[in-house]
Structures are given as structure tokens and as C-alpha cells.
Structure 1
Amino acid sequence: MGTTIRIGVIGCGFYAQNHLNAWRDLAPFGAALTAVCDVDPAKAKAAGETFGVPWYTDVKAMLATEKLDAVDIVTRQDTHRAIAETTIAHGVSTIVQKPFAPTWEDATAIVDAARKAGVWLAVHENFRFQAPLRAVRKVIDSGAIGEPSWARITFRTGFDVYKTQPYFLDEEKLVIADVGVHVLDVSRFLLGDVSRISCEIQRRNPRVKAEDDTATMLLRHESGAVSVVEATYEARRADDWFPETLLEIEGPRGSIIVTAGCKMKLTSDGKATTSDIGAPLLSWTSHPWHVSQEGAMGACRHFLDCLQRGVPAETRGEDNLKTYALVDAAYKAAAEHRAVAPVRWS
């Protein structure tokens, strides 16, 4: 067991339950879920009673009362900047749920605040921590297919996300900002940073306010690799694989293909092998959410380890700005009908 890290979770809504369960399960490794907070007293009380910790409806009151090493902010993105700036000002290590913030200005302000205060900051960008994607990264690192030169990374579903998150219907920006950010981060995780991006968006569901319930993106990576990144909530198929990310990656020595059910086919020097790269169900996970839930667990495990060792997270604020910049560039590319270079932050 490593150094104990006392954690407060801010936001006790739908997806926050995965964070709460993850922190509880990580107790044997040094995570101490210490307090919860939500502006909705009913949600805060329910989480406090379920997880056996004090509950609050005011972030400042929680910070003043509890001795916390870190907070995990799992609230709507329009609240992230104000909450993060408050926790950073208190010198508390801060994890922010993706999307990082509503605007580039808000996201960079959070990173600037943490840098100036010398406070550890990470973004809960969890797709890259899913067991299948970690397995793919391990194969790439082994050199089995050589340096990747082409990929297709796909998240296509018709699962009713509006049932559990009805506010999606009224968002100004939807699929790229919500799930596209995940698959864009996966493209960076597997093929490296991006020099330019093109994008076509569609609104295929008339109930949706945003112009993008579907996005098809073409990325040129700094390595020279090219990837096609797809995201939609409007696929219609009997074998819907929600919430899995499927992919194909090619290199000079072979290829990696991940298919539904977390199956990976690896071809290396003409020899093919197939393996199951899914993770076992946790006590609190359920089909079909288990893949996403396991990713949340993996992210929390990574953050705990980094906090204990005093090192930056993979998805530290500065790094996540590169993914955030891709989201902004994708929307700009769609609007201007041209390839766009993502903004660089320094």
C-alpha cells in the first residue's frame, strides 16, 4: 500500500458514481475517499450515505472542513473553471472531468492557475485507460507492427445517451465535445501529436440542437501517420457495440484490429494471433457500461499512483490541452471546410 491520498469528490451525479466506486475500490492501494459534494443536497446526501463519508453542498465549506490531498471534479463542464480555481487556490491536487472546460480560454486559465500555484493537475480523460486500449499501446511499444503509419479509430453507436443525459439535446456542441474528445485523445495516445485535422459534421437527429451528432475527422500526425477518427450517436445497427472503441492500425510489419467484444487480431510478419483484451467485470460495473466504467477505474488508479509518487499524470493539464486543441480545430475545420492546425499552448 502506498501513501494514503485523501480524496474529495465534487459532483455526485450519473457518471460520478463510477468515480466514487473506483476510489472506494482503490482503498487497499492508498485511496481514502474522505468527502463528497454536490449542489443538489439529495445527491450529496445519497452519495455520502452510500460511501460512508461526510457530504457537502458547498465546495469552499468542504475544503475548509476536510483535510484533503486531492479532489476529483465530476460536474458539468461549465462549472469546471470556477471549481478548479477554488481547489487550486487551496493548494489541493485537482482532477477535472473531461471535457476540460467549455472554452480554450477557460481550459488554459485552469492550467495557468495550477502552474503558477505549483499544484498537481490532471484531466479525467479515461478512454486511453481502458484495458483494450492499453493492450494496443503495449503491442505498438513492442514493435510487433513497426511504427504505425495509418489508423481508423471508431466510436459509432445508437445507444440512447439522451435518456441518462437529456441535457445533450440542448448542447451547442455535442459529439466532438463529448465523445469525440475521447477518440481524438486515443489517436494522440496511439499515433502521437497532430499537425493538422479536417472534419465533416452532420446533424442526423432532428431533436438535437447542436450541428454535430456525427463527426468524421482526418488527422495528419507529426510522425507522418494518418488516422481517420469517427464519432456518432446516430448509428443504427443490431450489433451496437456501445461503449466500445473499435480500431485498425497498420504499420510496416503488420496490423492491429480491435473488434466488438474487446477482441484483438494482431498480424506481425505474416503471422496472425487473436486474443481477448477485455477486463473482468468489477462488482459495481454492468453491461454495456462496463468498458467505460473500467476505463474510469483505470484512470483513477493511474492518478492515485502518480499522486503517491509525486509525478505528473499522462493526462496532466498541459498535455490535455493538446487534445482540447484538436476539438477546437475540428469544429473550425468543419466550419471553414479546410484542414486546420491545432493551437499550441506554452
Structure 2
Amino acid sequence: MTLRVGLLGLGYFAQFHREAWGRIDGATLAATADANPETGATYASLEALLGHGIDLLDIATPPPTHAAAIRAALPHGLRAIICQKPFCTSMEEAQAVTAEAEAAAVPLIVHENFRFQPWFRSMKQALDAGQIGTPLNLTFRLRTGDGQGPEAYLARQPYFQTMPRLLIHETGVHYVDVFRYLLGRPQGVYADLRRLNPAIRGEDAGHVLFDYANGARALFDGNRLLDFDTDTPRRTFGESLLEGTEGTLSLVGTGQVTLRRKGDAGGDVILEGRDWPGFAGDCVHGFQSHVVQAVQGEVAAETSARSYLDVLSLVETVYAASAAGTRLPVLP
């Protein structure tokens, strides 16, 4: 059975949702809704969209609209609801709508797509296969290069300038989830966050260190003012190393992943770099394809709202650790 998808919101990032739905077997984009008539949406309201007979609602609107949209959709017998990140406006709101969706037996899934980037899937596969032994260090260096000067972010996402929390809340949250995906849940967090561009309100640089019970460490080193060696920073957004007792996995800006075994020079390419369609390695397509499989009962949804509450909790711990200037434990 082909799932009929309704897309709420046709802003900047929704273009990637819309395009990806057109390439996914088992789903069809049946209708869209946006209050702005210039977007060419099928409908101007969520109510009209829900009345179109859709099976799956894809919410691609800003966080202040999330809770109301989810609650409005729950009585309509949908097979699933997808909600973009940042998920809702607070932990309390996210917890509430998650519980309401569970009570209504409607799967609620957060659109967290970075873990579906092909380089992280490739690294996870190699890690699970034991190709680097026991992982001890994971580093990701975020270098978007779009954060300098008074015009920073205005061309693509101008609201970035006024967000009270930027680097971690908007962007670093992806890597909090990626680190969980690769290494599991940490037991402690240290963070040093700072604002470098006076034209914006929130933080745009920082270091976040997660520690794990087996002695492993994961470092997120983010700086939106700096760039890195790539033809387009919006492919991988940075570079990564996953180092283990028996080898190292390296990600560079082309999207190439190399496995170098301990003691060797050079390494073997396990994922070729190339130009993927869509956004950042076609991860929106990867995520939405995964959701279709989950709704059809073929796999378990990796980013269910219940699971994603842990990501939100870790983000809050990052900000608290930075404010306190000390390591904080991750609470159960």
C-alpha cells in the first residue's frame, strides 16, 4: 500500500522534504499546506490538509507550531506523524506531545536526518563489524564558514541571527544524535560555548566533550565562522575521525570515508566521495525512506519522539555544563 503523505510547511528546508518524497517507493506526496499563498501549496491550512485523506503528516514548520500541529493531527487516525527538529519549544512541551501521541497509538517520529548521511552509516557499519576494534576517540569538526560579519545567515536562514541558542540547539544537536548513534549514551558532559560574531544573539562556536564508561571520549568542535577543505561545506559540514584500538575511520569534505588499520600508512576507501542528490548526502531521502519502512513494519523507527527526548536532555546538559564551567553527569 502506498502511503499518502501530507507536507505541512513549504519554507526553505521543506524543499528537500518535498523533493525526496518524489523519489521514495511506497509513498507519494498527496498534498501540501502553507499559509503563504506564494508557496503554491495545495491548501492554506492544516485542517484542510488533514481532511485530504492522508496517511502520514510531515511537519516542516518552526518549533512554536509543532505541539499544536501534532495535537490537531492525532484524532485523524494517521499511521504516523513526522516532526522536524528542533522538536517543539521546550523539553516539557516535547514530553507532553510524546505522551499524547503514545496514548493515541500514533507513531511520532522526529526528522533527525544527519545519522542517515551515508558517511555516518558507513562508519557505523565498519564499527559494528569490528574493523577498528574498540572505539576510543570520536571527533567531529564543524566548519560551516557562513557565520562571519553583519550579514551572516541572512541569505538562507535569517532567523539564525536572533536565536538565543544557535550552535548546539540548531546544528550541534545533529551531532549529539550522531554520537549516540555511533557510541551510545554518554555518562558525562563538559562544554565551553561562546559567541564570536557580535551581530548574532546566540553562541556560534564551542567545544563539547562527552565521556563514556569504557574510557572513550567524543569531541564536538564547532565553529560557524571558519571553513575547511571542501568545494561545498554543506555536503559534510566538517571532518571527522573515529579512532579505535585496531584502526581509524576518517571523513573528509568530499564525503569520502577511509579506513586505516593500526600500524599501516594510508588506508582503504570504504565510501567514495561524490555529489549526492538532495541535501547533505541525500540524508533527507535516507531518513524519509527509513520512516516508510518503519510505518510498513519492516524496521523500528530510529528517531522516535520517545528516543529523541534523550537527545533534548543531552542538549540541555550541554548548555548547563557550559554555564557551570564544569563537567556534569548525564542523568538516567
TM-score (norm 2): 0.91
In the alignment, which residue of structure 2 is the partner of 1:52? none
In the alignment, which residue of structure 2 is the partner of 1:337? 325
Alignment of 1:182-221 (within 5 A): 182-210=174-202, 212-221=203-212
In the alignment, which residue of structure 2 is the partner of 1:51? none
Establish whether residue 260 from structure 1 lines up as the match of residue 225 from structure 2: no
Q: Out of 232, 238, 242, which is 2:223 matched to?
A: 232
- Output the amino acid matched with 1:10: L
Q: Out of 57, 63, 80, which is 2:66 matched to?
A: 80
C-alpha distance in 1, partners of 2:107/2:331? 23
Establish whether residue 39 from structure 1 lines up as the match of residue 35 from structure 2: yes
Deviation, 1:60, is 1.7
Cα separation, partners in 2 of 1:238 and 1:269, compared to 1, 3 Å: closer
In the alignment, which residue of structure 1 is the partner of 2:149? none
Q: Out of 73, 76, 91, which is 2:77 matched to?
A: 91
C-alpha distance in 2, partners of 1:177/1:279? 29
- Output the amino acid matched with 1:114: A
Residue-by-residue CA offset, 1:221-275 (whole Å, 9 max, x unaligned): 3444211112231115675751214211111111111112112221235343134
Residue-by-residue CA offset, 1:297-327 (whole Å, 9 max, x unaligned): 1111111111112653101111111111111
In the alignment, which residue of structure 2 is the partner of 1:120? 107
After the TM superposition, which of the residue ranges 113-122 and 259-268 deviates more from structure 2? 259-268
Q: Is the 8 A contact 2:81 2:108 kept in 1?
A: yes
Q: Is the 8 A contact 1:180 1:230 kept in 2?
A: no
SS at structure 2 position matched to 1:266: strand
Cα separation, partners in 2 of 1:310 and 1:151, compared to 1, 3 Å: closer
- Output the amino acid matched with 1:192: G
In the alignment, which residue of structure 2 is the partner of 1:300? 288
Cα separation, partners in 2 of 1:238 and 1:275, compared to 1, 3 Å: closer
Structure 2 alignment gaps of length 5 or more: 147-151
Establish whether residue 18 from structure 1 lines up as the match of residue 16 from structure 2: yes
SS at structure 1 position matched to 2:329: coil
How many residues were matched structurally?
Answer: 322
C-alpha distance in 1, partners of 2:262/2:227? 36
Q: Is the 8 A contact 1:132 1:277 kept in 2?
A: no
In the alignment, which residue of structure 2 is the partner of 1:312? 300
Among all aligned residue pairs of Structure 1 and Structure 2, give the percentage whose two residues are the same amino acid: 31
SS at structure 2 position matched to 1:257: strand
Q: Which structure shows the higher helix fraction?
A: 1
In the alignment, which residue of structure 2 is the partner of 1:171? 163
C-alpha distance in 1, partners of 2:246/2:111? 33
